[in-house]
Amino acid sequence: MEWEICKVTSNNKEELLSLRVAEEQMQFIETIEESLLEAAQWKEFRPVGLYVDGVPVGFAMYGFLGDGKGGGNLWIDRLLIDENFQGRGYGRHFMELLIQRVLDEYGEQPIYLSVYPENTDAIRLYEKLGFVFIGEYDTKGEQIMRKSS
């Protein structure tokens, strides 16, 4: 299989906007539309399409978010696998690829993400990949996890 992480462009935006999570997962993640609006407002975010053999199967967004004091944190801020492609290991494989990509782009440093405590499937995945809870919450009430480099 060919796994690709591609920048969102005018050429692939519409096909990515058609991706959806299962209804019971909608409470856990912003829509792709909302994510692209955030990325337009916050240039630090990098929205990407996730492809397997040329077929769009997911969406992610990452970036280095400054703290206003010259520092900041590296975030994998979104990961969405379309409901039709879940249960095949795509989420884990793309998280591994995203971790490597952000470290390649930004250098070795801790990576942060946030997750709702009810999203137990995502938490299990993130823990298997080395993320741990740090006892902090984001502005939406999600628990923050960190993977040290």
Q: Catalytic annotation on 126? A: yes
- Interatomic CA distance for residues 18 and 44, integer angstroms: 24
Identify the CA nearest to 90 among candidates 57, 135, 48, 64: 57
Spot the catalytic one: 51, 62, 90, 126.
126
Sheet holding 143-147, edge to edge: 3-7, 45-52, 55-66, 72-81, 111-115, 143-147, 132-137
Catalytic positions, written as ranges: 126
